Structure 1
Amino acid sequence: MPFLFLIAFTLVSAFLLSKYLSKCQTKNLPRGSLGYPLIGETLSFIRAQREDRGWDWLEERILKHGSVFKTSLMGSPTVVIIGQAGNKFVLGAEEDVFAPKQPATMQGILGKQNILELTGSRYRLIKGALVTFLKPESLQNYIKEMDSLAKTLILRETKEKDTIKAAFFMKKLTFTMACNILFGIRDEYTIEALFKEFASASKALWSLPINFPGTVYWKGLRARSSIANLSLPILRKKREDLSNDAIIDNCITLVIASHDTSTILLSLMIRQLARDPEIYKKVLEEQMDIVKKREGKEDKLTWAEIQKMKYTWQVAQELMRTIPTVFGGFRKALKDTSYAGYAIPKGWQVFWSSDGTHMNNDIFENRKSPIPPYAYMAFGGGVHTCIGNEFARVETLTTIHNLVTMYEWSQLNPEEVITRQPMPYPSMHLPIKIKPRRLF
C-alpha cells in the first residue's frame, strides 16, 4: 500500500505539473531541464551537495545553458541566476516581485511565520522583536556569559582526553550557547533533548517534500512538533506580542541559523589553523596579545577585546568566502517578470548561489577596487540580510579565543573531506589531537 500510494502521488503530481507548465510554453523560458516529474533534479542536486560538488553541479549547467537556466528543485520549477548582477536582481527586488518564500520542506520545518518567509509590516514586527537581543548593544551584555560558557564547555569536553571530534563538539557548544544566550534555556536535560530533535529538523530542510512515514521530511516534521512541546512553555516568557506559532517558528529558525552556521565556521577555522602554521601563528599572536595586556585584571573577555580580533575575523571571512556556510537561497516570483531576456513565470522559484561570485577571481583575487555589493554573500543581501551576523561574529571570536589560548592541536586525518548536509561539514567530525597550552 505505501508503494502504491507513492506511485499514485507521483502520477497526480506529474499531471498537475505538466498542466501548469503547459501554460508557460509560449514564454521565453531559460534553457535547461526540469528533470523528472515532482522530483525534478532534486536528487542529483542533494547528492552533489553531500559530496561538496554543489558548484560543479551548477557549473555543468552553466556551461551548457548559460548563467541563467531552469531546473526543478524541492518540488517546484526553478530559475537559477548566477553572478553579482543576478544576486542584486534577486535579493534587491521589491517584495511584490520576489517574496522570500522557501521550498515546501523548509517552510514545513521552519513554519509559515518564520522571518525568512515574511514581508512588509509582519516582517518588520518579527525582525524588531528578534533584533532587540541580537543588536551590538545587547551583545555587549552577553560577552562575559559567552566567554564563561565557552570555557566551561571546552574544559568539560577535554577533561582527561587528548583527542576530540571537534566538529561534533562545536555543534553541541554552539547549540548550548544559542539556548542559553538567545532563549534562556539552561536545563541540561532539555538542551540535550532539543539537540537531538534539531538535528533531525535540520536534515529535513533540503529534502523531497514527501510527508510519508520513514522519509526525511516526515522525521523532520515530527522533530518540529517535539521542539514545540519542549520549548514553548519556556519561550512564552519572551513572547512580547507574538503568537505561539510565531514564537516556535522563529525559535527554530534562529537556532538553526545561528547554531548550524557558527558550527560550520568554527569547525572550518579549527581545520584551517591545524593545516596552515602561518595563519595559526598570526591568530595565536593576536589572541595572546589580548591576554597579556590585561595585566592581572579580570580574566574575562570584554567587548573592546572582541573588536581587537581583526585578523582572526579576517580568517573567518575568507573561509566563509571559499567554503560558504550557505550555498544559496530561494525566492518566489509573485508576478511574471524577466531577467537577461528570459521569462520568470509567476509562482516559480528563483535560486541564487554564493559560489557564483565567491569563486570569481576577478572580484576577490585580482581586484584593484573594493568588493562590489552583492558579491560577498556570507550573510545574504538586501532587506533580508541575516540579522544574526553580529551574534555569529561574537560567538565565533569568543570560542576561538578560548580554544587558542587554552590548547594547541593537530588534525588526525588531514585528508578528511568536506560534505554538505546541506551546510559544509567535515565527513569524520574533524577528530583532532589536543594539548593544553601554558600561557606564559
Structure 2
Amino acid sequence: MVEDIPFIAICVLTLSLVFLLKKILSKSQTKNVPKGSLGYPIIGETLNFLKAQRQVKGSEWIEERVSKYGPVFKTSLLGSPTVFIIGQQGNKFILGSSDDVLSANKPPTIQKILGKQTLAELIGSRHRLLKGEMLKFLKPECLQNYVKKMDELVYKVLLKELKENKTTQVVRLMKKLSYDMACNVLFDIDDHTREILFEDFTTAFKAIHSLPINFPGTSFWGGQKARARIVAKILPIMNKRREDLSKGVLSSTNDMLSCLLAIRDENHQPLSDDIITDNFIFLFVASHDTSATLMSLMIWKLSRDQEVYNKVLEEQMEILKQREANEEGLTWGEIQKMKYTWRVAQELMRMIPPLFGAFRKALKDTCYQGYDIPKGWQVYWASSGTHENKDIFENPYKFEPSRFENQTKPIPPFTYLPFGAGLHNCIGNEFARVETLTTIHNFVKMCEWSQLNPEETITRQPMPYPSLGLPVMIKPRCNMSS
C-alpha cells in the first residue's frame, strides 16, 4: 500500500492539472484564438520545445509552426496555453503593452523558484520603486566605481587557475567568476556563505524551465528545495544588516541587499522579507548566469575564429601599451576603448541570444491582428523572429561585428533584444557589459589557450553554453603583464 502512494499522488496531480487546463480552454472555445496545437494534456509541447532549445534549434521549432499557422500561433508550454507572436510588431505589442493588459507574470515553475514578487513580476508603483533603487547600483556612474574591484577579482581567479591547472573548463570558470562577481560587487557576501550557496543556486536555476511536477526526484521539486535552503541561509544575513542599518554602522549604499532593506514604500513601510528574498534570488540568477553565458561564448568564439581573436588581442594589447605608468589596473576609460571587443559580444548575442524569448500573461481578454488572446493565457516573444530576419540584419547567418559599428542604418526598435525591451527590460545590461569586457581583457592578456574539442557545439540548458563545458589547454601568456 505504501508503495502505491507516489503513483496515487501523481494521478491526483495529473487529474487536477487536466481539470484546470480544461477549465481555461473551455473559455476560449468561442473565441478566435490563433491556430496551432496544444499538444498533450498538461505537457503540451513543452518537452518538444525544450529538446529543440537544447539542440539550439529553437528558431527551427518556431519556423516549422510559422510555416503551418503563420507568425501568430498557439501551443502549450510549462502547463499553460501559450500564444507565440513572432516579428518586430509582435515584439512591440508584447513588450510595449501596459502591465494591466500583458503582465510579466511568469509560468508557475519560474514563480516557484525565483518568487512571485521579483522585479520581473511587480507592476505599477512597487515596480518603479524597486527598479529605481536597484538602478542606483547599476547605472554607468556607479559602475565606474566597480571596475577596479572587478579587475582585481578576475585577475586573482585567473592567476589561481593558471597556477593550478593545465586544462580547464571555461564554462565552469566563467560561472565561478560571474558568481563571485555578484557576491563580491553587488551583495557583499562573505567567502564562506558564497561557497555554501553556490550549489543551491545552480540547482535552482536548472529547475526554472522544468515541468511543474512537484514530486521527489523531479527537477522542479529539487529547485524548490534549493530555493528554501537559500532563503534559510540569507535571512540571518538580512537580520544582521537590518540591525547594522538601524545603528548607522552600515549604509544603504554599501550593497544591493542593504539597499533593499533600507527601502521604504509610499506608506513609509519597509519591504517584506518575502519581497527582499525573492529579489535577492532573482538578481543573483539574472546577474550570474547571463554574464557567464556571454563570457563563455566569447571564449568559444575566440577559440574558433582566428581573425576575430587577432583583432580582439590587438585591441586589448594596445590598451595595455597606452596605459599610464602610474595606472596599476583596468580603468573606466579603458573599458570605453574596447569597441571591437564589445561589437563581437553584440554580434554573438544577436546570433546566440542569452535570452531566447520570454513569457507575458494576459490579465484580461485582449487581441492582436484579429486573433483573440483569452485572459489567463501566456504570450511569448522570441528574439530569433527579428535577429535572424534578413530585412533587418543583412546576411543574418554571417558573423559580422561591423554591423554594430557607426551604423548608417540604425537598428529598428524592438528588433535587437538580447536584454529585452520595454518596462521590464534587463536593468543589468551595462553591468554585464563591464563584467564581460573586464573578464575578456584579463583572459586575453594573461592566457594562451587552445580548444580541446574544436567541433564543440552550443546547447541551451536553458541558457546557451558550449555543450561540453568548453575544455581548453591553458597556460600563462609569455609576456603576461599585471
Q: Specify the TM-score bucket, using the shorter chain as the normaliser.
A: over 0.9
Alpha-carbon distance between aligned partners in 2 of 1:361 and 1:392, rounded to the nearest angstrom: 27
**Cα-to-partner distance string for 1:192-217 (whole Å, 9 max, x where unaligned):** 22110001100111111111111111
Size of the aligned set, in residue pairs, is: 439
Secondary structure, in 3 states, of the residue corresponding to 1:364? coil
Letter in 2 for 1:151: Y
Q: Which residue of 1 aligns with 2:13?
A: 9
Q: CA deviation at 1:297?
A: 1.9
Matched, 1:230 2:233: yes
Q: CA deviation at 1:113?
A: 1.1
Alpha-carbon distance between aligned partners in 2 of 1:160 and 1:15, rounded to the nearest angstrom: 56
Matched, 1:425 2:465: yes
Residues 24-423 of structure 1: matches in 2 within 5 Å? 24-187=28-191, 189-236=192-239, 237=241, 238=258, 239-241=261-263, 242-365=271-394, 369-423=409-463
Q: CA deviation at 1:234?
A: 2.6
Q: CA deviation at 1:233?
A: 2.6
Secondary structure, in 3 states, of the residue corresponding to 1:361? coil
Alpha-carbon distance between aligned partners in 2 of 1:7 and 1:62, rounded to the nearest angstrom: 35
Is there any run of 5+ residues in structure 1 with no aligned partner, and where? none
User: CA-atom RMSD, angstroms?
Assistant: 1.4
Q: Which residue of 1 aligns with 2:251?
A: none
Q: 1:140 to 1:108 in 2, by over 3 A?
A: same
Alpha-carbon distance between aligned partners in 2 of 1:250 and 1:91, rounded to the nearest angstrom: 21
Letter in 2 for 1:126: L
* C-alpha contact 2:84 2:381 (8 A) present in aligned 1: yes
Letter in 2 for 1:227: I
Secondary structure, in 3 states, of the residue corresponding to 1:332? strand
Q: CA deviation at 1:12?
A: 2.7
Letter in 2 for 1:25: Q
* C-alpha contact 1:70 1:79 (8 A) present in aligned 2: yes
Alpha-carbon distance between aligned partners in 2 of 1:365 and 1:198, rounded to the nearest angstrom: 39
Alpha-carbon distance between aligned partners in 2 of 1:34 and 1:394, rounded to the nearest angstrom: 42
Is there any run of 5+ residues in structure 2 with no aligned partner, and where? 242-257, 264-270, 396-402
Alpha-carbon distance between aligned partners in 2 of 1:199 and 1:286, rounded to the nearest angstrom: 34
Secondary structure, in 3 states, of the residue corresponding to 1:419? strand
After alignment, is 293-302 or 316-325 more displaced?
293-302
* C-alpha contact 1:183 1:235 (8 A) present in aligned 2: no
Q: CA deviation at 1:439?
A: 4.4
Q: CA deviation at 1:36?
A: 1.4
Letter in 2 for 1:29: V
Alpha-carbon distance between aligned partners in 1 of 2:409 and 2:324, rounded to the nearest angstrom: 41
* C-alpha contact 1:336 1:345 (8 A) present in aligned 2: yes
Alpha-carbon distance between aligned partners in 2 of 1:148 and 1:16, rounded to the nearest angstrom: 53
Letter in 2 for 1:190: T
**Cα-to-partner distance string for 1:256-296 (whole Å, 9 max, x where unaligned):** 11110111100100011111111111111111111111142
Secondary structure, in 3 states, of the residue corresponding to 2:144? helix
Alpha-carbon distance between aligned partners in 1 of 2:394 and 2:189, rounded to the nearest angstrom: 43
TM superposition score normalised by structure 2? 0.89
Alpha-carbon distance between aligned partners in 2 of 1:10 and 1:35, rounded to the nearest angstrom: 15
Q: 1:158 to 1:231 in 2, by over 3 A?
A: farther
Q: 1:439 to 1:156 in 2, by over 3 A?
A: closer
Q: CA deviation at 1:49?
A: 1.4
TM superposition score normalised by structure 1? 0.97
* C-alpha contact 2:24 2:376 (8 A) present in aligned 1: no
Q: Which runs of 4+ in 1 moved over 3 A?
A: none
Q: CA deviation at 1:19?
A: 2.9
Percent of counterpart pairs with the same letter? 63
Q: Which residue of 1 aligns with 2:250?
A: none
Secondary structure, in 3 states, of the residue corresponding to 1:78? strand
Secondary structure, in 3 states, of the residue corresponding to 2:328? coil
* C-alpha contact 2:53 2:459 (8 A) present in aligned 1: yes
